[in-house]
Chains A and B, each alone.
Chain A
Amino acid sequence: MAVRALGISKGWVVGTFTLVWLAIFAYGAWMLVRFTPRLWPDPGLGYQLPVPRGRLLARDGTPLALSPKPGARVYPLGALAGQLIGYTERFPKGYGRGLAGLEARYDAVLARGEDVRLTLDPKIQALAETALLKGVEAARARWGSLVVLSPEGEVLASANVPRLDPASRRGAPGKDPRLTNYAWRYLIEPGSTVKPLVAAWLLERGLVRPDEVLEVPYHVQVGDRWVRDWRWHPVERWTLADILAHSSNVGMALLSERVKKRELHAFLTRLGFDQRVHPLAERPLLPPLKRWGPVEKANATFGQGFALPPVQLAAAMNALVTGVYHAPKLVLGQKGRETRIFSEASVRWIRSTLTRHLSPRARVPGYALAGKTGTAQIPTRGGYDPERVVALFAGFIPADRPRATAVVVLYDPQVPLADRYGSKLAAPVFAELAKGLLSYWGLLPERVK
């Protein structure tokens, strides 16, 4: 035997063998404890890794919210579109699930690590917020919002002031005014901004002709109430364009006598004034038809007696671009409700009328813009506050082939009473936004073209 020939004793061989065997056994046992075998093949380590939350991207790919690692959340653009982006749970060691805004709306998708690409254009958003900040400061308003939509109903910008940086320290909901997404969640009466919509509808139905002249007094009795114009005037002979130009409540109330309340109510319903048009939006308040009398019908023609969030007003006004109503869309490629409301001829006539009679402070020299002012009193229990108002402006940039519809809302401005009008406070915000957008799009003034 080889072992005996080498002169090694059997004891050494058995001892060495036993030691080696024990060492290997110990190693194997340790491996078994450390890496417990699986019944099925190991799918790999990556499978077990927690996935970082998905990104919220702007239209051009700019990240609005992203997670460098699981449990982290960064908002690179700070307060830009803060309320719309929303926020997540916050723990000492990181961030959790979405609590508000898009973070909550798309929580399940983002939690899977998938990105959501929005229709927001960060540059338009910045222009809107810059213009709105200036407007809210000048008006000393409690809050302001500015919504910009594309003709297809895509939300290009949704600005609120006061702004919210989702990464900043938050107060309690209901107590911290920055937490409300006013553009989507706060109901306001739209006031005179709806007059062009009603006018287009009356034209469309042949209930009024553009050249028809009406006798419009300063006030008129409707049911048991008096409807008045915003300033005194003698009995005037006004066309529909004049009624819009002077923003005459009485003119609209007189025209309302030509329609049945059921028809007007149905028209407002088609514009989405009785339903939530987006999961993020608050449901508007439009009283049911059975609670409508002649007063409610007349009031509705000049934007009183119902309330809706600014984004929904913007979507309705947007129907004056092509005649088609598009429900607001926030995610790129998303489909929404589309309904033809007006003919192209009607909306063209309305826009050209609004261009001719554009509020002076909404004008941008060299460009044709269109829009309508609005000043709505704030409803209180059993009536309206005589002093507190919402200043509004809804317009199109540019007027002939609009690329954007914008709605400006300034809530409860604290300037002197004589200045609390949409024409004085909200129109300049629209002009400021228009200047920015025209620059961004590189559109030259008419005379230069």
Chain B
Amino acid sequence: MTQSLDDRQMPFASIFVPDFPVEAILRGEPELRLRAMAVLEGKPPLQKVFALNENARRASIELGMTKLQVEACTDLVLRSRSLLQEAVAHAALLDCAQSFSPRVENTACDTLLLDLAGLESLFGPLPKIARDMARRASDLGLEANVAVASNADTAMLAARGFSGVTVIPVGEEADRLGNLPLNVLFAGLPSDDQKQNAEQFLETLERWGIRNLRSLSALPEIAISERLGQEGVRLQQLARGATSRTLVPFDPPLVFQEAVELEYPLVLLKPLAFLLQRMLNQLCARLAARALAAQELRLKLELENGWQSEDGEIRALSAALNPELPSRRSARTGEGTRSHTARGLFQRTLRLPVPMLDAKVFLKLLQLDLKAHPPGAPIMKIHLSAEPARPRNSQNGLFLPASPEPEKLELTLARISGIVGENRVGSLELLDTNRPEAFRMQHFAPSEPRGLKPDWEGHDFSRADKPFTFVVPSGLQPTRNLLFRLFSQPGKQCPDPDQRSGNLQPGSTPQEAGNSNGAVTALRIFRPPLRVTVTLRDGKPKHIVCSKREKVQGEIIWLAGLWRSSGDWWEQEGWARDEWDIALQTEPGIALYRLVHDLLSGRWFIEGTYD
């Protein structure tokens, strides 16, 4: 079992998932794995058993039984066949195979063939590779048989015939395959014609008393050719493990999608979270198998209300993942029909600042998002897909300041959004305009800290890719700036913040002391601005009264201005205003405010206070 294959032979592996339709459903409901389960197909009430697991066979359930017949078995779990979940399970199987070898043949929806040439130096001896494959398939929710042999067909037959992990040494193919029944030669045939021919072959061989591959391989080749033709010779070669063929590699699209079709509509978010957790675990396992992470999560819920053509989408996904599935479906259901079901669509997209691979974080983010944006109708189907990206591999420097972990930060931001509301948390981006309150919120994604440099060049205030950071808009208060330049000494320039010198404190870095010699007077904005009644004298404000705040009223004891500005007059949202800086006497002392006269509406406002 553990002998290695001859180096001159190309080793192949085959992964086979028995009872694939059942496994596809058990992937989403692993708690049913120990129970007898049957998958039904067909339109009610003519549903028949299409697939079943080993426990169901022990309970005397057989393929082709009607739903009415199998319902007599009380312990049996019945599920409808889900092409969507089969397509997703097949994609997971492909991911499992692709994580070991780049040369994978998509033999059938439940069978894959891999070329293992040269992989021993990477993953170890062939038995270990086979065991790892089975384990990884199990991690992805599929219990698979894995077989390794010197030729592809032998590996495939062994995977279909032997459960668990099988390694067939070179030269022992016929001996090891000999005990297998004849029907393994005809498993996985896609069309009904081929199945009919296979049944004829089996019937003929049965009449000859040939019941296993050893008996078939012992027959004289010329006699088989005379009686069964070239197909018979080919089957005998298969039984002897002596065929040789070229692998047809399949390059699957890099699609990471999980889907669940529900028997009953989901109404509450809590049971949805359980399903999402399973799907996310599967998604993360698939991404991890391909050494990838998720950059974006897309959740699509098909709801009970509304109209949505679902058939096209499922077929598109099935076609992308497995070209065989639609034809099988057409053959079995006799369709080509497009079923329109009463379902709405609800979509949410989570863009992550950095590629992540943590199912718990994803689940929490989705929960918080769904809590803030509930679907609004019972859920029938769940599609969850991830946009793959290379995982983040960064190492923090020893001397760099600590920063929040991206996963934790993302969760925190989502939670804060749930408290203060959407678009009220993030980083600030100034817009290139003189319009007041010209800014927008953007998702908070701090850049990685750069190494602290011992000179003043450590701070790049004029990064070309981020034009609004650190740069004071030059035309912010043009009239004030102009006045200052007129009155100030000639040649005096507004110093750049990074060029100011400061007193270096003991233990402080130059970066810390860069702006320590004088703070900038900040303005505190009142949102919304305070409406005031202004008494004018000689065209200047002399007294203001604010009904909303008692402190903001009284005689104006100092005044500067007016500073007139306007803009966007060519658009509907034009603005024009006069600004005054005023000082009022308040109880604790003097308070400085910015008084604004909106020239379009004629109203007066207190926009903020200098603090």
The finding on whether chains A and B are genuine partners in a shared complex, rather than unrelated, reads no
A interface residues (Cβ-Cβ under 8 A, vs B): none
B interface residues (Cβ-Cβ under 8 A, vs A): none
